[in-house]
Amino acid sequence: MTDTQTAETEVDIVIYSVAEGIATITMNRPKYNNAQNGRMTYELDAAFQCAVADDEVKVIVLKGNGKHFSAGHDIGTPGRDINESQDRVTLWYDHANKEGAEFLYVREAEAYLGMCRRWRDIPKPTIAAVQGACIAGGLMLAWVCDLIVATDDAFFSDPVVRMGIPGVEYFAHPFEMHPRIAKEFLFLGDRMSAQRAEQMGMVNRLSTRETLEADVNAIAAKIATMPRMGLALTKQSINNIEDLRGKRTGMDAAFAWHHFAHGHNELVSGDKLGGFDGKKMAEENKKQNKKENKT
């Protein structure tokens, strides 16, 4: 799944393999903590499509190489390709040549909300294997999976309220955690430990760095013994209940507010992210943590 069209010389940023009914999709930008650029987004989609089309595949595992599962959307690596056109997979038009708020709205409608919904509704069970950081855009990748297994040193956070934006584009927060905890999670932007995430039911099982792969494969192998259609129908039944509870319509509203915030930022500061890039965000988060440790 390599693509030499981008200026980046990185190769194999998404790796796909199949063994014994389990497709493993691996994000492979460890140098950038698997920051998700446009190219990675579309390569992930292509990998998911392969796994869906292959009758031998019963279960799909999503993981990230390196120290962290995902640092989120790419807002600052040399491979950031937000201005590039992509071979779109939903019925949106190209964002790259658009002005004003249309640019980002169109891009995120396709690449974030649209893509996440496609992946969430994949008619085969999916498992996220999470180690280390799972931040902002990284949350979306874990949340679209049916099951989440996390290492005991994994942590989750959505600090984008700092940008004046109400959380990431795939606004599943009040479904992944109690609404009061979702508010805490967003207002404070703090890290949530894997242990707390497991207690709340956001994470299915805890593992360790040493055992993550084996634990995930054991669950996947067990699921793979179930009939394909039974699994697909079960998944649809539960996803449908979530949508009846307002997941889909709530997310549509949050996405509109999200883009009101991007537009507002651009009007006020001239930057859609309120002047933040990956580096500045990390610095601010560090500062906040330091202050906290002093008190």
Question: What mask, x for binding Zn ion by CB under 5 A, covers residues 36 to 75?
Answer: ----------------------------------------
Question: What whole-number distance in Å separates Cα of residue 278 and Cα of residue 138?
Answer: 13
Which residue number, 66 or 263, has a Cβ lying nearer to Zn ion? 263
Which residue number, 241 or 256, has a Cβ lying nearer to Zn ion? 256
Which residue number, 112 or 217, has a Cβ lying nearer to Zn ion? 112
What's the closest the beta carbon of residue 166 comes to Zn ion, in angstroms?
A: 10
* Radius of gyration over every alpha carbon of the chain, rounded to an integer in angstroms: 18
Question: What mask, x for binding Zn ion by CB under 5 A, covers residues 95 to 124?
Answer: -------------x----------------
Residues near Zn ion (CB under 5 A), total: 1
What's the closest the beta carbon of residue 268 comes to Zn ion, in angstroms?
A: 16
What's the closest the beta carbon of residue 136 comes to Zn ion, in angstroms?
A: 10
Which residue number, 212 or 273, has a Cβ lying nearer to Zn ion? 273
Strand 14-19 relative to strand 22-27, pairing:
antiparallel
Sign of torsion over alpha carbons 274, 130, 286, 283: negative
> Which residues does 32 contact at the CB level (< 8 Å), separation at least 6?
71, 74, 77, 79
For 233, other C-beta atoms within 10 Å of its C-beta total: 12
Query: H or E stretch including 40?
Result: helix 38-53
Which residue type sits at 239? Answer: N
Question: What whole-number distance in Å separates Cα of residue 278 and Cα of residue 8?
Answer: 18
Q: Which two tokens stand for residue 42?
A: 């579309």
Question: What whole-number distance in Å separates Cα of residue 75 and Cα of residue 142?
Answer: 19
What's the closest the beta carbon of residue 264 comes to Zn ion, in angstroms?
A: 12
Which residue number, 108 or 176, has a Cβ lying nearer to Zn ion? 108
What's the closest the beta carbon of residue 73 comes to Zn ion, in angstroms?
A: 8
Going by C-alpha positions, the residue among 230, 209, 204, 233 that lies closest to residue 219 is: 204
Q: How many CA atoms lie within 13 A of 40 on its CB side?
A: 31
Which residue type sits at 151? Answer: T
Question: What whole-number distance in Å separates Cα of residue 146 and Cα of residue 128?
Answer: 8
What's the closest the beta carbon of residue 182 comes to Zn ion, in angstroms?
A: 18
What's the closest the beta carbon of residue 105 comes to Zn ion, in angstroms?
A: 9
Which residue number, 129 or 261, has a Cβ lying nearer to Zn ion? 261
Which residue number, 70 or 217, has a Cβ lying nearer to Zn ion? 70
Applying CB under 5 A, the residues found at the interface with Zn ion are 108
